[in-house]
Amino acid sequence: MVYTPNLISRQFFGKIVLTRSNYLKNFVVRNVNRNSIQFVVPTNRKFATSIESSTSGAEIPAKKHAPTKKVEFTADKYTYLHRNPNFKELTQDDIKFFASILPANGLIIDNEEELMPYNVDWMKKYRGKSRLVARPKTTRQISQILKYCNENKLPVVPQGGNTGLVGGGVPVFDEIVISTNNMNQIRSFDPVSGILTCDAGCILEVLDNYLAEQEQGYMMPLDLGAKGSCHIGGNVATNAGGLRLLRYGSLHGTVLGLEAVLPDGTILDNLSTLRKDNTGYDIKQLFIGSEGTLGVITGVSILTPPKPKAVNVAVLGVSTFQNVQKALVTSKNKLSEILSAFEFWDSDTLKLSKAHNIQGTKFPLEDNYPFYVLVEISGSNKYHDDDKLQNFLEELLANEIVKDGVVAQDETQMSTLWSLREGIPEACSKAGAVYKYDISIPLSVFYQMAEDMRNRLQSAGVFGEDNLVSNVIAYGHVGDGNLHLNIVAKSYDPKVTNLIEPFIYEWTEQHNGSISAEHGLGLMKANYLKYSKSSSMISIMKQIKQSIDPNGIMNPYKFLPTQ
């Protein structure tokens, strides 16, 4: 597909000057193919599968592999954690039972090398001591496992693709890991309604590719850089957000039904494919975002949108964050129903990317700007979209909201421009140790967080090129108020950590934000929940947990405060 807007010259010779309006004289389309800009990230928006030094990397796929460096046990690092004395330790009789209900390759037992990818999160920040990984193939097998574990008070950790960022998907002590790797069947797809029903262990990218191959062409309503590894069940359990949320909303709206197994082995069959069902409590909502603390999601029915037939991407240079906000408002007014993404990053982020991802080559925009915005449009009528894009760019330039920009001319260039945004976590990982935070805050104070954090670290004498902290960068989903704040340091130093936490959470609370926009709570943020939820809300959450999981076997030590 080649996208050729009306507003540009029809001749494609590297640099194309927009000619239809005087307002567009400074807005150019340059040749940004991969021959002239050598990004280390490959095409098709797939990124590194191994991050050796990062504690973050929200949009980079993880791949199960044994860590190449020693990872400290979580229990040794977080000394406030204590193994629940009510939990039983694994015995040979337990192992015999699991072996009796699972296929020959369904268990990993006391093999440190094979257990390592399940015990260690892909960021190599958390490490458990599990002796056993169960890999069932059916919902019935998970039911049998949980029933036995509940009766014997054996703690468990549900695990999908292990791409989480807050330590929610790996053990803390010796919990049994229940992996959904072998539950990967597509159960049904209705091409009329666009409703897909599948096992929880299906990989997001596999589902996206399957839908694209259907006669009418559909796609998953969420898009993550980790889509090559993450499981749809894990996406639902963490209420994953990602790049398409602005257009298609959260999983709380697109998931129509769930199949889940409760701690006592009860199979909760709620795989509804109805858009409208007003009969009682919407129980599935409890499991969306529950992070494996209430049960194991085994099946998902989800509403999938048609795959757009016309897509394009533009990257814009902006002088102030106030103008970033103005560009967002303009995009909503001028692009409305075809606006599918609105992302941003700051100049420090670009410097980091140039140092580690764009190796000695020219950035698509000739001049440097304090802020950059990526806008994606996607619709069904190319000519209709052309006009909307033209009107949008004209207004931005007429009102001096943006200074410069580039527009992709084909799919390769779209991928190249997207790689500027999606390659940021990889660049951070190459720069050093990364403290990564994911918050939702009002746009009026969106970038103030980054400025306040820089000032705090600088006042403490730890910020600077040759200091403990080398960089504070900000990027993320401006369209839905989600800021990713990355603090790049030489190493993970308690002095730096204590300067960041709980300051960042207190700051977020003061500005009526959320301490987790899309990454979840896991182990990392469980004890900071009070900064986003009132004591009464936390009390209700604890009551729900106690009611459904009275023995507390489901993903213990996480999600809810332990201190």
Q: What is the dihedral of CA 287, 290, 293, 298, to 10 degrees?
A: 40
Residue 398 phi, psi dihedral angles, 5° rounding: -60, -35
Angstrom distance (rounded) from CA 499 to CA 139: 46
Check which CATH number belongs to the domain holding 216 and give it. Answer: 3.30.465.10
Question: In the listed set 362, 396, 431, which residue is the last one of a domain according to the structure?
Answer: 431
Question: In the listed set 373, 397, 431, which residue is the last one of a domain according to the structure?
Answer: 431
Helices (H), 242-310: 245-248, 251-254, 284-287
Does 314 reside within a domain?
yes
Does 174 reside within a domain?
yes
Whether residue 157 is found in the same domain as residue 270:
no
Q: How would you label 366-404 residue by residue, b for 16+ Cβ within 10 Å and e otherwise?
A: eeebbbbbbbbbbbeebeebbebbbebbbbbbeeebbbb
Whether residue 86 is found in the same domain as residue 114:
yes
Q: Could you tell me the two tokens for 179?
A: 């992996």
Amino acid at 199: D
Does 563 reside within a domain?
no
Whether residue 406 is found in the same domain as residue 508:
no
Angstrom distance (rounded) from CA 189 to CA 350: 41
Whether residue 313 is found in the same domain as residue 414:
yes
Q: Is 79 helix (H, G, I), strand (E, B) or coil?
A: coil
Angstrom distance (rounded) from CA 365 to CA 318: 11
Angstrom distance (rounded) from CA 33 to CA 353: 17
Check which CATH number belongs to the domain holding 450 and give it. Answer: 3.30.70.2740
- Sorted by sequence, the CB contacts under 8 Å of residue 536 that are 6+ apart come out as none
pLDDT for 24: 40
Q: Could you tell me the two tokens for 364?
A: 């698509």
Does 66 reside within a domain?
no
Q: Could you tell me the two tokens for 281?
A: 């409590």
Question: In the listed set 145, 179, 213, which residue is the last one of a domain according to the structure?
Answer: 179
- Structural domain containing residue 150: 74-179
Q: How many CB atoms lie within 10 A of CB 189?
A: 17
Whether residue 286 is found in the same domain as residue 396:
no
Whether residue 329 is found in the same domain as residue 288:
no
Alpha-carbon Rg for the chain, nearest whole angstrom, is 24
Does 312 reside within a domain?
yes
Burial of 533 (0-12, 13-18, 19+ CB in 10 A): middle
Total domains in the fold of the chain: 4
Q: Are strands 107-109 and 132-134 parallel, antiparallel or unpaired?
A: antiparallel
Strand order in the sheet with 339-346: 404-407, 310-318, 371-379, 339-346, 469-477, 482-489, 433-440
Does 4 reside within a domain?
no
Q: Is 481 helix (H, G, I), strand (E, B) or coil?
A: coil
- Sorted by sequence, the CB contacts under 8 Å of residue 100 that are 6+ apart come out as none
* DSSP H or E stretch at residue 536: helix 535-548
Which 8-state DSSP code applies to residue 306? B
Q: What is the dihedral of CA 215, 217, 221, 223, to 10 degrees?
A: 120
Q: How would you label 351-360 residue by residue, b for 16+ Cβ within 10 Å and e otherwise?
A: ebbbebbbee
| Residue 498, CA atoms < 13 Å, CB-side half-sphere | 4
Whether residue 254 is found in the same domain as residue 317:
no
State the sign of the Cα–Cα–Cα–Cα dihedral 344, 348, 350, 356.
negative
State the sign of the Cα–Cα–Cα–Cα dihedral 311, 326, 254, 486.
positive
Q: What is the pLDDT along the chain (563 residues), one digit of tens a residue?
A: 333 333 332 222 233 333 333 334 444 444 433 333 333 322 333 222 222 222 233 333 334 444 446 889 999 999 999 999 999 999 999 999 999 999 989 999 999 999 999 999 988 889 999 999 999 999 999 999 999 999 999 999 999 999 998 999 999 999 999 999 999 999 999 999 999 999 999 999 999 999 999 988 999 999 987 899 999 999 999 999 888 899 999 999 999 999 999 999 999 999 999 999 999 999 999 999 999 999 999 999 999 999 999 999 999 999 999 999 999 999 999 999 999 999 999 999 888 888 776 655 567 787 889 999 999 999 999 888 988 988 898 899 999 999 988 888 888 888 888 888 888 888 887 888 889 999 999 999 999 999 999 999 999 999 988 899 999 999 999 989 999 999 999 888 889 999 999 999 999 999 999 999 999 999 999 999 999 999 999 999 999 999 999 999 999 999 999 86
Could you tell me which of 137, 124, 130 has the C-alpha nearest to residue 63?
Answer: 124
Does 282 reside within a domain?
yes
| Residue 124, CA atoms < 13 Å, CB-side half-sphere | 17
> How many H helices and E strands in the chain?
18, 18
Burial of 78 (0-12, 13-18, 19+ CB in 10 A): middle
* DSSP H or E stretch at residue 158: strand 156-159
Whether residue 312 is found in the same domain as residue 419:
yes
Q: How would you label 125-136 residue by residue, b for 16+ Cβ within 10 Å and e otherwise?
A: bbbbebbbbbbb
Contact 230, 272 (CB under 8 A): no
Whether residue 191 is found in the same domain as residue 261:
yes
Whether residue 244 is found in the same domain as residue 277:
yes
Does 23 reside within a domain?
no
Whether residue 243 is found in the same domain as residue 207:
yes
| Residue 111, CA atoms < 13 Å, CB-side half-sphere | 10
Contact 462, 468 (CB under 8 A): yes
Q: Could you tell me the two tokens for 516?
A: 């987790």
Check which CATH number belongs to the domain holding 138 and give it. Answer: 3.30.43.10
Check which CATH number belongs to the domain holding 332 and give it. Answer: 3.30.70.2190
Whether residue 423 is found in the same domain as residue 472:
no
